[in-house]
Structure 1
Protein backbone atom coordinates (compact mmCIF):
# COMPACT_ATOMS: atom_id res chain seq x y z
CA UNK A 1 0.00 0.00 0.00
CA UNK A 2 1.32 3.40 -0.89
CA UNK A 3 2.52 5.87 1.72
CA UNK A 4 0.78 9.15 2.06
CA UNK A 5 2.29 10.79 -1.00
CA UNK A 6 -0.56 8.98 -2.79
CA UNK A 7 1.19 9.16 -6.14
CA UNK A 8 -0.76 7.45 -8.90
CA UNK A 9 2.29 7.27 -11.16
CA UNK A 10 2.58 3.78 -12.63
CA UNK A 11 -0.29 2.49 -10.51
CA UNK A 12 -2.44 1.32 -13.43
CA UNK A 13 -1.41 -1.80 -15.29
CA UNK A 14 -1.60 -0.93 -18.98
CA UNK A 15 -2.14 -4.60 -19.82
CA UNK A 16 -5.59 -4.14 -18.33
CA UNK A 17 -6.82 -2.05 -21.29
CA UNK A 18 -8.42 -5.07 -22.93
CA UNK A 19 -10.18 -5.96 -19.68
CA UNK A 20 -11.30 -2.37 -19.37
CA UNK A 21 -12.91 -2.50 -22.80
CA UNK A 22 -14.74 -5.68 -21.93
CA UNK A 23 -15.93 -4.24 -18.64
CA UNK A 24 -17.10 -1.08 -20.37
CA UNK A 25 -19.07 -3.12 -22.89
CA UNK A 26 -20.81 -4.97 -20.05
CA UNK A 27 -21.59 -1.68 -18.32
CA UNK A 28 -23.10 -0.24 -21.51
CA UNK A 29 -25.24 -3.33 -21.90
CA UNK A 30 -26.42 -2.98 -18.30
CA UNK A 31 -27.31 0.70 -18.87
CA UNK A 32 -29.21 -0.19 -22.03
CA UNK A 33 -31.18 -2.81 -20.13
CA UNK A 34 -31.96 -0.29 -17.40
CA UNK A 35 -33.18 2.18 -20.00
CA UNK A 36 -35.52 -0.41 -21.45
CA UNK A 37 -36.96 -0.92 -17.95
CA UNK A 38 -37.49 2.82 -17.61
CA UNK A 39 -34.64 3.22 -15.14
CA UNK A 40 -32.36 5.39 -17.20
CA UNK A 41 -33.46 8.58 -15.49
CA UNK A 42 -33.35 7.20 -11.94
CA UNK A 43 -31.31 9.34 -9.54
CA UNK A 44 -27.70 8.27 -9.16
CA UNK A 45 -26.31 7.59 -5.70
CA UNK A 46 -22.71 8.72 -5.56
CA UNK A 47 -22.10 7.22 -2.10
CA UNK A 48 -23.17 3.61 -1.72
CA UNK A 49 -22.81 0.84 0.85
CA UNK A 50 -21.37 -2.30 -0.70
CA UNK A 51 -21.03 -5.86 0.57
CA UNK A 52 -19.48 -9.00 -0.85
CA UNK A 53 -22.68 -10.05 -2.61
CA UNK A 54 -23.02 -6.76 -4.48
CA UNK A 55 -19.35 -6.07 -5.11
CA UNK A 56 -19.23 -7.26 -8.72
CA UNK A 57 -22.28 -5.29 -9.85
CA UNK A 58 -21.80 -2.18 -7.73
CA UNK A 59 -18.02 -1.84 -8.01
CA UNK A 60 -16.43 -3.95 -10.75
CA UNK A 61 -19.01 -3.31 -13.44
CA UNK A 62 -19.47 0.36 -12.59
CA UNK A 63 -15.70 0.91 -12.62
CA UNK A 64 -15.90 0.69 -16.42
CA UNK A 65 -17.73 4.03 -16.52
CA UNK A 66 -16.56 5.84 -13.38
CA UNK A 67 -13.57 5.46 -11.00
CA UNK A 68 -14.86 3.78 -7.84
CA UNK A 69 -13.19 4.79 -4.58
CA UNK A 70 -13.47 2.16 -1.83
CA UNK A 71 -13.55 3.17 1.83
CA UNK A 72 -12.92 0.26 4.22
CA UNK A 73 -14.28 1.36 7.60
CA UNK A 74 -15.81 0.06 10.86
CA UNK A 75 -18.06 1.48 13.57
CA UNK A 76 -15.36 1.23 16.26
CA UNK A 77 -12.67 2.95 14.16
CA UNK A 78 -12.17 6.57 15.27
CA UNK A 79 -9.95 7.57 12.29
CA UNK A 80 -12.70 6.17 10.03
CA UNK A 81 -15.14 8.63 11.59
CA UNK A 82 -12.78 11.45 10.62
CA UNK A 83 -12.09 10.24 7.11
CA UNK A 84 -15.46 8.97 5.86
CA UNK A 85 -17.34 12.30 6.02
CA UNK A 86 -14.54 13.98 4.06
CA UNK A 87 -14.63 11.29 1.38
CA UNK A 88 -18.43 11.53 1.15
CA UNK A 89 -18.42 15.31 0.86
CA UNK A 90 -15.69 15.36 -1.78
CA UNK A 91 -17.43 12.62 -3.76
CA UNK A 92 -20.59 14.72 -3.96
CA UNK A 93 -18.54 17.79 -4.81
CA UNK A 94 -16.93 15.95 -7.72
CA UNK A 95 -20.47 15.36 -9.06
CA UNK A 96 -20.11 12.06 -10.88
CA UNK A 97 -16.41 12.04 -11.66
CA UNK A 98 -15.91 9.44 -8.90
CA UNK A 99 -18.16 7.04 -7.01
CA UNK A 100 -17.63 6.15 -3.34
CA UNK A 101 -18.25 2.57 -2.19
CA UNK A 102 -18.26 2.15 1.60
CA UNK A 103 -17.39 -1.35 2.84
CA UNK A 104 -17.85 -2.37 6.47
CA UNK A 105 -14.60 -4.18 7.27
CA UNK A 106 -16.12 -6.26 10.07
CA UNK A 107 -18.88 -7.65 7.84
CA UNK A 108 -16.83 -8.24 4.69
CA UNK A 109 -13.71 -10.10 5.71
CA UNK A 110 -13.33 -11.79 2.31
CA UNK A 111 -13.02 -8.42 0.58
CA UNK A 112 -10.53 -7.31 3.25
CA UNK A 113 -8.37 -10.33 2.42
CA UNK A 114 -8.70 -9.90 -1.33
CA UNK A 115 -7.51 -6.29 -1.12
CA UNK A 116 -4.79 -7.14 1.42
CA UNK A 117 -6.07 -4.62 3.96
CA UNK A 118 -3.87 -4.57 7.05
CA UNK A 119 -5.58 -1.77 8.95
CA UNK A 120 -8.41 0.71 8.61
CA UNK A 121 -9.37 3.17 7.37
CA UNK A 122 -7.95 1.96 4.07
CA UNK A 123 -8.80 3.55 0.74
CA UNK A 124 -8.51 1.90 -2.66
CA UNK A 125 -9.81 2.65 -6.13
CA UNK A 126 -11.10 0.35 -8.85
CA UNK A 127 -10.71 1.52 -12.44
CA UNK A 128 -11.79 -0.72 -15.31
CA UNK A 129 -11.80 -3.66 -12.94
CA UNK A 130 -8.25 -2.95 -11.72
CA UNK A 131 -7.64 -2.35 -8.00
CA UNK A 132 -5.31 0.51 -7.02
CA UNK A 133 -4.13 1.14 -3.44
CA UNK A 134 -4.47 4.83 -2.57
CA UNK A 135 -3.72 5.42 1.11
CA UNK A 136 -4.31 4.25 4.65
CA UNK A 137 -5.28 6.38 7.63
CA UNK A 138 -7.16 9.66 7.98
CA UNK A 139 -5.25 11.79 5.49
CA UNK A 140 -5.56 15.60 5.24
CA UNK A 141 -8.31 16.82 2.91
CA UNK A 142 -5.88 18.60 0.59
CA UNK A 143 -4.04 15.35 -0.08
CA UNK A 144 -7.28 13.41 -0.57
CA UNK A 145 -8.39 16.00 -3.11
CA UNK A 146 -5.05 15.71 -4.91
CA UNK A 147 -5.40 11.92 -5.00
CA UNK A 148 -8.89 12.13 -6.49
CA UNK A 149 -7.64 14.55 -9.14
CA UNK A 150 -4.84 12.15 -10.06
CA UNK A 151 -7.23 9.20 -10.10
CA UNK A 152 -9.61 11.01 -12.46
CA UNK A 153 -6.72 12.00 -14.75
CA UNK A 154 -5.33 8.46 -14.88
CA UNK A 155 -8.79 7.00 -15.53
CA UNK A 156 -9.42 9.36 -18.44
CA UNK A 157 -5.97 9.31 -20.04
CA UNK A 158 -5.30 5.58 -19.83
CA UNK A 159 -8.78 4.08 -20.03
CA UNK A 160 -11.01 6.77 -21.51
CA UNK A 161 -13.23 6.66 -18.41
CA UNK A 162 -14.75 10.10 -17.87
CA UNK A 163 -17.29 9.41 -15.12
CA UNK A 164 -21.04 9.88 -14.91
CA UNK A 165 -22.23 12.86 -16.93
CA UNK A 166 -24.72 15.43 -15.66
CA UNK A 167 -24.86 14.13 -12.10
CA UNK A 168 -25.61 16.67 -9.39
CA UNK A 169 -25.26 14.26 -6.49
CA UNK A 170 -27.79 12.51 -4.29
CA UNK A 171 -28.10 15.09 -1.54
CA UNK A 172 -29.48 18.09 -3.42
CA UNK A 173 -31.55 19.22 -0.46
CA UNK A 174 -28.59 19.53 1.88
CA UNK A 175 -27.95 23.09 3.05
CA UNK A 176 -25.24 24.91 1.19
CA UNK A 177 -21.89 24.63 2.87
CA UNK A 178 -19.90 27.65 3.87
CA UNK A 179 -17.22 28.53 1.32
CA UNK A 180 -13.87 26.98 2.08
CA UNK A 181 -11.06 29.14 3.32
CA UNK A 182 -8.60 30.06 0.57
CA UNK A 183 -5.55 27.84 0.33
CA UNK A 184 -2.29 29.08 1.78
CA UNK A 185 -0.27 30.39 -1.21
CA UNK A 186 2.93 29.11 0.35
CA UNK A 187 1.51 25.58 0.60
CA UNK A 188 0.20 25.81 -2.95
CA UNK A 189 3.66 26.81 -4.16
CA UNK A 190 5.24 23.94 -2.25
CA UNK A 191 2.81 21.42 -3.70
CA UNK A 192 3.34 22.78 -7.21
CA UNK A 193 7.09 22.38 -6.81
CA UNK A 194 6.59 18.82 -5.59
CA UNK A 195 4.30 17.98 -8.51
CA UNK A 196 6.84 19.45 -10.94
CA UNK A 197 9.63 17.29 -9.52
CA UNK A 198 11.48 20.30 -8.08
CA UNK A 199 12.30 18.51 -4.85
CA UNK A 200 14.79 21.09 -3.59
CA UNK A 201 12.25 23.82 -4.19
CA UNK A 202 9.52 21.82 -2.46
CA UNK A 203 11.69 21.16 0.58
CA UNK A 204 12.58 24.84 0.88
CA UNK A 205 8.95 25.92 0.43
CA UNK A 206 7.65 23.56 3.10
CA UNK A 207 10.45 24.66 5.44
CA UNK A 208 9.40 28.27 4.88
CA UNK A 209 5.84 27.43 5.89
CA UNK A 210 7.00 25.65 9.03
CA UNK A 211 9.22 28.57 10.00
CA UNK A 212 6.13 30.73 10.40
CA UNK A 213 3.76 27.95 11.49
CA UNK A 214 5.67 25.08 13.18
CA UNK A 215 2.47 23.17 13.90
CA UNK A 216 1.23 23.05 10.29
CA UNK A 217 0.46 19.35 9.76
CA UNK A 218 0.15 19.58 5.98
CA UNK A 219 3.55 21.24 5.72
CA UNK A 220 5.17 18.65 7.99
CA UNK A 221 3.79 15.79 5.90
CA UNK A 222 4.74 17.53 2.65
CA UNK A 223 8.28 18.17 3.87
CA UNK A 224 8.70 14.55 4.93
CA UNK A 225 7.50 13.36 1.52
CA UNK A 226 9.70 15.78 -0.41
CA UNK A 227 12.78 14.84 1.62
CA UNK A 228 12.09 11.13 1.12
CA UNK A 229 11.74 11.55 -2.64
CA UNK A 230 14.91 13.63 -2.76
CA UNK A 231 16.86 10.97 -0.84
CA UNK A 232 15.83 8.13 -3.17
CA UNK A 233 16.22 10.13 -6.38
CA UNK A 234 18.90 8.56 -8.53
CA UNK A 235 19.51 5.54 -6.29
CA UNK A 236 20.27 2.20 -7.91
CA UNK A 237 17.64 0.08 -6.19
CA UNK A 238 19.36 -3.23 -6.93
CA UNK A 239 22.69 -2.02 -5.57
CA UNK A 240 21.09 -0.44 -2.50
CA UNK A 241 19.36 -3.69 -1.58
CA UNK A 242 22.52 -5.71 -2.19
CA UNK A 243 24.53 -3.37 0.03
CA UNK A 244 21.95 -3.61 2.80
CA UNK A 245 21.93 -7.42 2.62
CA UNK A 246 25.73 -7.73 2.45
CA UNK A 247 26.44 -5.16 5.18
CA UNK A 248 23.79 -5.41 7.91
CA UNK A 249 25.97 -3.35 10.24
CA UNK A 250 26.28 -0.46 7.77
CA UNK A 251 23.76 2.07 9.05
CA UNK A 252 23.83 4.24 5.93
CA UNK A 253 23.10 1.18 3.78
CA UNK A 254 20.12 0.34 5.99
CA UNK A 255 18.83 3.93 5.84
CA UNK A 256 18.95 3.94 2.04
CA UNK A 257 17.18 0.58 1.87
CA UNK A 258 14.48 1.76 4.30
CA UNK A 259 13.88 4.85 2.17
CA UNK A 260 13.48 2.69 -0.93
CA UNK A 261 11.09 0.41 0.97
CA UNK A 262 8.98 3.38 1.97
CA UNK A 263 9.00 5.01 -1.46
CA UNK A 264 7.93 1.69 -2.94
CA UNK A 265 5.02 1.31 -0.53
CA UNK A 266 6.63 -1.41 1.63
CA UNK A 267 5.87 0.46 4.83
CA UNK A 268 6.19 -2.38 7.32
CA UNK A 269 9.52 -3.45 5.77
CA UNK A 270 10.90 0.08 6.11
CA UNK A 271 9.78 0.38 9.72
CA UNK A 272 11.00 -3.10 10.64
CA UNK A 273 14.42 -2.51 9.08
CA UNK A 274 14.95 0.71 11.04
CA UNK A 275 13.68 -0.69 14.34
CA UNK A 276 16.11 -3.58 13.95
CA UNK A 277 18.91 -1.13 13.12
CA UNK A 278 18.16 0.88 16.26
CA UNK A 279 18.20 -2.36 18.26
CA UNK A 280 21.66 -3.46 17.16
CA UNK A 281 23.44 -0.08 17.15
CA UNK A 282 24.45 2.58 19.66
CA UNK A 283 25.59 6.16 19.82
CA UNK A 284 25.36 8.27 16.67
CA UNK A 285 24.39 5.29 14.51
CA UNK A 286 21.42 4.49 16.73
CA UNK A 287 20.32 8.13 16.76
CA UNK A 288 20.55 8.35 12.95
CA UNK A 289 18.31 5.30 12.57
CA UNK A 290 15.87 6.56 15.19
CA UNK A 291 15.56 10.00 13.56
CA UNK A 292 15.07 8.49 10.11
CA UNK A 293 12.30 6.28 11.49
CA UNK A 294 10.55 9.32 12.97
CA UNK A 295 10.87 11.08 9.61
CA UNK A 296 9.15 8.17 7.88
CA UNK A 297 6.39 8.21 10.50
CA UNK A 298 5.59 11.72 9.27
CA UNK A 299 5.11 10.43 5.72
CA UNK A 300 2.42 7.99 6.86
CA UNK A 301 0.78 9.92 9.69
CA UNK A 302 0.61 9.32 13.42
CA UNK A 303 -2.88 7.81 13.28
CA UNK A 304 -1.90 5.00 10.92
CA UNK A 305 -1.92 1.63 12.75
CA UNK A 306 1.42 0.70 11.19
CA UNK A 307 2.96 3.76 12.80
CA UNK A 308 1.37 2.91 16.15
CA UNK A 309 2.82 -0.61 15.95
CA UNK A 310 6.27 0.61 14.94
CA UNK A 311 6.32 3.23 17.72
CA UNK A 312 5.67 0.48 20.24
CA UNK A 313 8.44 -1.64 18.75
CA UNK A 314 10.82 1.32 18.84
CA UNK A 315 10.01 2.00 22.49
CA UNK A 316 10.76 -1.61 23.38
CA UNK A 317 14.22 -1.57 21.82
CA UNK A 318 15.07 1.86 23.24
CA UNK A 319 13.93 1.23 26.80
Structure 2
Protein backbone atom coordinates (compact mmCIF):
# COMPACT_ATOMS: atom_id res chain seq x y z
CA UNK A 1 0.00 0.00 0.00
CA UNK A 2 1.29 3.47 -0.89
CA UNK A 3 1.30 6.12 1.79
CA UNK A 4 0.77 9.77 0.80
CA UNK A 5 3.82 11.81 -0.08
CA UNK A 6 4.03 14.61 2.53
CA UNK A 7 5.64 16.88 -0.02
CA UNK A 8 2.47 16.94 -2.11
CA UNK A 9 -0.06 19.62 -1.26
CA UNK A 10 -0.93 23.28 -1.51
CA UNK A 11 1.28 25.72 0.37
CA UNK A 12 -1.74 27.19 2.14
CA UNK A 13 -4.37 25.44 4.17
CA UNK A 14 -7.53 24.13 2.57
CA UNK A 15 -10.08 24.91 5.26
CA UNK A 16 -13.31 22.92 5.19
CA UNK A 17 -16.16 24.13 7.42
CA UNK A 18 -17.13 21.61 10.07
CA UNK A 19 -20.34 19.70 9.56
CA UNK A 20 -21.86 16.46 10.80
CA UNK A 21 -21.33 14.45 7.61
CA UNK A 22 -18.55 11.89 7.32
CA UNK A 23 -15.96 12.22 4.56
CA UNK A 24 -15.10 8.51 4.60
CA UNK A 25 -17.01 5.40 5.53
CA UNK A 26 -16.03 4.37 9.02
CA UNK A 27 -19.43 3.01 9.89
CA UNK A 28 -17.93 -0.29 11.01
CA UNK A 29 -16.04 1.52 13.71
CA UNK A 30 -18.68 4.14 14.50
CA UNK A 31 -20.63 1.68 16.65
CA UNK A 32 -17.92 1.75 19.32
CA UNK A 33 -19.27 2.12 22.86
CA UNK A 34 -19.12 5.50 24.55
CA UNK A 35 -15.88 6.34 26.29
CA UNK A 36 -15.69 5.19 29.89
CA UNK A 37 -16.67 8.05 32.16
CA UNK A 38 -18.94 9.73 29.61
CA UNK A 39 -21.75 9.70 32.14
CA UNK A 40 -19.64 11.23 34.87
CA UNK A 41 -21.51 13.52 37.26
CA UNK A 42 -21.65 17.22 36.51
CA UNK A 43 -18.39 18.95 37.36
CA UNK A 44 -16.28 15.88 36.64
CA UNK A 45 -14.62 14.99 33.37
CA UNK A 46 -13.22 12.12 31.37
CA UNK A 47 -9.94 10.86 32.77
CA UNK A 48 -8.16 10.56 29.44
CA UNK A 49 -5.15 12.39 27.98
CA UNK A 50 -5.79 15.86 26.60
CA UNK A 51 -3.20 15.25 23.87
CA UNK A 52 -2.27 11.75 22.75
CA UNK A 53 -1.16 9.59 19.81
CA UNK A 54 -2.68 6.57 18.15
CA UNK A 55 -2.01 3.84 15.61
CA UNK A 56 -4.09 1.08 14.00
CA UNK A 57 -3.98 -1.05 17.15
CA UNK A 58 -5.37 1.67 19.44
CA UNK A 59 -7.65 3.45 16.98
CA UNK A 60 -10.76 1.85 18.47
CA UNK A 61 -10.13 3.82 21.67
CA UNK A 62 -10.17 7.06 19.67
CA UNK A 63 -13.50 6.12 18.09
CA UNK A 64 -14.87 5.32 21.55
CA UNK A 65 -13.72 8.65 22.94
CA UNK A 66 -15.43 10.52 20.08
CA UNK A 67 -18.79 9.22 21.31
CA UNK A 68 -18.42 11.44 24.38
CA UNK A 69 -16.08 14.30 23.45
CA UNK A 70 -15.00 15.68 20.05
CA UNK A 71 -11.66 14.35 18.82
CA UNK A 72 -9.40 16.31 16.49
CA UNK A 73 -6.95 14.10 14.65
CA UNK A 74 -3.91 15.51 12.88
CA UNK A 75 -2.33 13.24 10.27
CA UNK A 76 1.33 14.18 9.99
CA UNK A 77 4.72 12.89 8.93
CA UNK A 78 8.26 13.69 10.11
CA UNK A 79 9.10 13.99 6.41
CA UNK A 80 6.81 17.01 6.07
CA UNK A 81 8.20 20.45 6.87
CA UNK A 82 4.68 21.78 7.53
CA UNK A 83 3.79 19.05 10.02
CA UNK A 84 5.77 20.16 13.08
CA UNK A 85 4.44 23.77 13.07
CA UNK A 86 0.90 22.40 12.62
CA UNK A 87 1.34 20.05 15.59
CA UNK A 88 2.66 22.86 17.79
CA UNK A 89 -0.19 25.18 16.80
CA UNK A 90 -2.88 22.55 17.42
CA UNK A 91 -1.35 21.58 20.76
CA UNK A 92 -1.47 25.24 21.81
CA UNK A 93 -5.13 25.54 20.79
CA UNK A 94 -5.93 22.29 22.61
CA UNK A 95 -4.36 23.50 25.86
CA UNK A 96 -6.19 26.82 25.59
CA UNK A 97 -9.56 25.04 25.21
CA UNK A 98 -8.80 23.00 28.36
CA UNK A 99 -10.76 19.82 27.83
CA UNK A 100 -13.58 20.52 25.37
CA UNK A 101 -11.92 18.23 22.81
CA UNK A 102 -9.08 15.74 22.58
CA UNK A 103 -6.16 16.10 20.17
CA UNK A 104 -4.89 12.86 18.64
CA UNK A 105 -1.69 12.85 16.60
CA UNK A 106 -1.23 10.19 13.92
CA UNK A 107 2.17 9.63 12.32
CA UNK A 108 1.05 8.24 8.96
CA UNK A 109 4.43 6.58 8.42
CA UNK A 110 3.69 4.41 11.47
CA UNK A 111 -0.06 4.08 10.85
CA UNK A 112 -0.53 3.78 7.06
CA UNK A 113 -3.86 1.96 7.42
CA UNK A 114 -5.39 5.01 9.13
CA UNK A 115 -4.07 7.26 6.36
CA UNK A 116 -5.62 4.93 3.79
CA UNK A 117 -8.96 4.79 5.63
CA UNK A 118 -9.19 8.59 5.58
CA UNK A 119 -7.87 8.79 2.00
CA UNK A 120 -5.11 11.15 3.04
CA UNK A 121 -3.41 12.76 0.04
CA UNK A 122 -1.31 15.38 1.81
CA UNK A 123 -0.01 16.10 5.27
CA UNK A 124 -0.74 17.64 7.55
CA UNK A 125 -4.42 16.80 7.22
CA UNK A 126 -6.72 17.50 10.15
CA UNK A 127 -9.96 15.56 10.61
CA UNK A 128 -12.36 15.52 13.54
CA UNK A 129 -14.33 12.60 14.88
CA UNK A 130 -17.71 13.37 16.41
CA UNK A 131 -19.79 10.44 17.58
CA UNK A 132 -17.60 8.16 15.49
CA UNK A 133 -18.24 10.18 12.33
CA UNK A 134 -15.38 11.95 10.50
CA UNK A 135 -15.55 15.68 9.88
CA UNK A 136 -12.89 17.08 7.50
CA UNK A 137 -11.33 20.28 8.84
CA UNK A 138 -8.29 21.40 6.82
CA UNK A 139 -5.23 20.32 4.87
CA UNK A 140 -1.74 21.80 4.63
CA UNK A 141 -0.20 24.54 6.74
CA UNK A 142 -2.54 26.95 8.52
CA UNK A 143 -2.26 29.81 10.96
CA UNK A 144 -3.83 29.79 14.40
CA UNK A 145 -6.13 32.61 13.28
CA UNK A 146 -7.43 30.41 10.44
CA UNK A 147 -7.93 27.36 12.60
CA UNK A 148 -9.71 28.88 15.62
CA UNK A 149 -12.98 29.60 13.73
CA UNK A 150 -12.94 26.05 12.34
CA UNK A 151 -12.59 24.64 15.88
CA UNK A 152 -15.48 26.84 17.02
CA UNK A 153 -17.69 25.50 14.21
CA UNK A 154 -16.72 21.94 15.16
CA UNK A 155 -17.67 22.48 18.80
CA UNK A 156 -21.02 23.99 17.77
CA UNK A 157 -21.75 21.00 15.52
CA UNK A 158 -20.72 18.61 18.32
CA UNK A 159 -23.07 20.31 20.79
CA UNK A 160 -25.95 19.95 18.31
CA UNK A 161 -25.18 16.20 18.17
CA UNK A 162 -25.12 15.95 21.98
CA UNK A 163 -21.36 15.34 22.19
CA UNK A 164 -20.70 17.64 25.14
CA UNK A 165 -18.56 15.79 27.68
CA UNK A 166 -15.28 17.32 28.84
CA UNK A 167 -11.84 15.99 29.66
CA UNK A 168 -10.66 16.41 33.25
CA UNK A 169 -7.53 18.55 33.06
CA UNK A 170 -4.97 19.65 35.63
CA UNK A 171 -2.86 22.80 35.53
CA UNK A 172 0.09 20.89 34.10
CA UNK A 173 -2.09 19.67 31.22
CA UNK A 174 -2.74 23.20 30.00
CA UNK A 175 0.77 24.55 30.57
CA UNK A 176 2.90 24.85 27.45
CA UNK A 177 5.77 22.34 27.49
CA UNK A 178 9.32 23.66 27.66
CA UNK A 179 10.88 23.45 24.18
CA UNK A 180 13.96 21.19 24.21
CA UNK A 181 16.17 24.02 22.95
CA UNK A 182 15.21 26.12 25.99
CA UNK A 183 16.37 23.55 28.52
CA UNK A 184 20.11 24.32 28.39
CA UNK A 185 19.83 28.11 28.82
CA UNK A 186 17.25 27.69 31.58
CA UNK A 187 19.58 25.28 33.37
CA UNK A 188 22.42 27.79 33.06
CA UNK A 189 20.18 30.47 34.60
CA UNK A 190 19.19 28.20 37.47
CA UNK A 191 22.87 27.51 38.14
CA UNK A 192 23.56 31.26 38.22
CA UNK A 193 25.71 31.20 35.06
CA UNK A 194 24.17 34.28 33.47
CA UNK A 195 26.89 34.86 30.87
CA UNK A 196 26.52 31.28 29.67
CA UNK A 197 22.73 31.65 29.66
CA UNK A 198 23.00 34.79 27.54
CA UNK A 199 25.19 32.98 25.01
CA UNK A 200 22.80 30.03 24.86
CA UNK A 201 19.69 32.23 24.51
CA UNK A 202 21.39 34.21 21.74
CA UNK A 203 22.03 30.94 19.90
CA UNK A 204 18.37 29.90 20.26
CA UNK A 205 17.18 33.25 18.87
CA UNK A 206 19.71 33.07 16.03
CA UNK A 207 18.39 29.65 15.01
CA UNK A 208 14.74 30.66 15.41
CA UNK A 209 14.19 34.44 15.09
CA UNK A 210 10.43 33.92 15.61
CA UNK A 211 10.87 32.47 19.10
CA UNK A 212 9.42 35.35 21.11
CA UNK A 213 9.70 33.45 24.40
CA UNK A 214 13.44 33.04 23.85
CA UNK A 215 13.77 36.75 23.08
CA UNK A 216 11.98 37.59 26.31
CA UNK A 217 14.23 35.24 28.29
CA UNK A 218 17.31 36.77 26.66
CA UNK A 219 16.19 40.30 27.51
CA UNK A 220 15.47 39.34 31.11
CA UNK A 221 18.84 37.64 31.60
CA UNK A 222 20.79 40.47 29.96
CA UNK A 223 19.07 42.94 32.27
CA UNK A 224 19.76 40.77 35.33
CA UNK A 225 23.43 40.44 34.37
CA UNK A 226 23.76 44.21 34.08
CA UNK A 227 21.65 45.23 37.07
CA UNK A 228 22.82 42.66 39.59
CA UNK A 229 26.32 41.97 38.33
CA UNK A 230 29.46 44.08 38.52
CA UNK A 231 28.59 47.70 37.75
CA UNK A 232 30.47 49.77 35.17
CA UNK A 233 30.87 53.29 36.60
CA UNK A 234 31.79 54.60 33.15
CA UNK A 235 28.48 53.46 31.66
CA UNK A 236 25.90 56.29 31.92
CA UNK A 237 23.16 53.84 30.91
CA UNK A 238 23.72 51.81 34.09
CA UNK A 239 21.60 54.39 35.95
CA UNK A 240 18.65 53.23 33.84
CA UNK A 241 19.13 49.65 35.01
CA UNK A 242 19.23 50.82 38.63
CA UNK A 243 15.99 52.76 38.19
CA UNK A 244 14.30 49.82 36.45
CA UNK A 245 15.42 47.40 39.19
CA UNK A 246 13.93 49.79 41.75
CA UNK A 247 10.58 49.73 39.96
CA UNK A 248 10.86 53.06 38.13
CA UNK A 249 10.38 51.82 34.54
CA UNK A 250 9.38 55.24 33.20
CA UNK A 251 12.47 56.83 34.70
CA UNK A 252 14.69 54.14 33.19
CA UNK A 253 13.15 54.67 29.77
CA UNK A 254 13.66 58.43 30.03
CA UNK A 255 17.37 58.02 30.87
CA UNK A 256 18.00 55.81 27.85
CA UNK A 257 15.90 57.94 25.51
CA UNK A 258 17.75 61.09 26.57
CA UNK A 259 21.10 59.37 25.96
CA UNK A 260 19.93 58.22 22.55
CA UNK A 261 18.74 61.70 21.63
CA UNK A 262 22.08 63.20 22.66
CA UNK A 263 24.33 60.99 20.51
CA UNK A 264 24.92 60.66 16.79
CA UNK A 265 27.24 57.67 17.02
CA UNK A 266 25.56 54.84 15.11
CA UNK A 267 27.02 52.06 17.26
CA UNK A 268 26.05 53.77 20.50
CA UNK A 269 22.54 54.49 19.24
CA UNK A 270 22.05 50.85 18.29
CA UNK A 271 23.28 49.68 21.69
CA UNK A 272 20.85 52.03 23.45
CA UNK A 273 18.00 50.91 21.20
CA UNK A 274 18.66 47.24 22.04
CA UNK A 275 18.87 48.09 25.73
CA UNK A 276 15.50 49.80 25.56
CA UNK A 277 13.96 46.86 23.73
CA UNK A 278 15.27 44.56 26.47
CA UNK A 279 13.56 46.65 29.13
CA UNK A 280 10.34 46.85 27.07
CA UNK A 281 10.16 43.04 26.92
CA UNK A 282 10.85 42.66 30.63
CA UNK A 283 8.27 45.32 31.54
CA UNK A 284 5.57 43.87 29.29
CA UNK A 285 2.58 45.81 28.03
CA UNK A 286 1.97 49.05 29.93
CA UNK A 287 1.22 52.73 29.22
CA UNK A 288 4.84 53.59 30.11
CA UNK A 289 6.13 51.11 27.53
CA UNK A 290 3.73 52.39 24.85
CA UNK A 291 4.78 55.99 25.48
CA UNK A 292 8.49 55.12 25.40
CA UNK A 293 8.09 53.05 22.23
CA UNK A 294 6.46 56.00 20.49
CA UNK A 295 9.29 58.33 21.50
CA UNK A 296 11.90 55.76 20.46
CA UNK A 297 10.30 55.44 17.01
CA UNK A 298 10.41 59.24 16.59
CA UNK A 299 14.09 59.40 17.61
CA UNK A 300 15.01 56.70 15.13
CA UNK A 301 13.26 58.35 12.19
TM-score of the superposition, structure 2-length normalised? 0.47
More helix by share: 1
Larger Rg: 2
TM-score of the superposition, structure 1-length normalised? 0.45
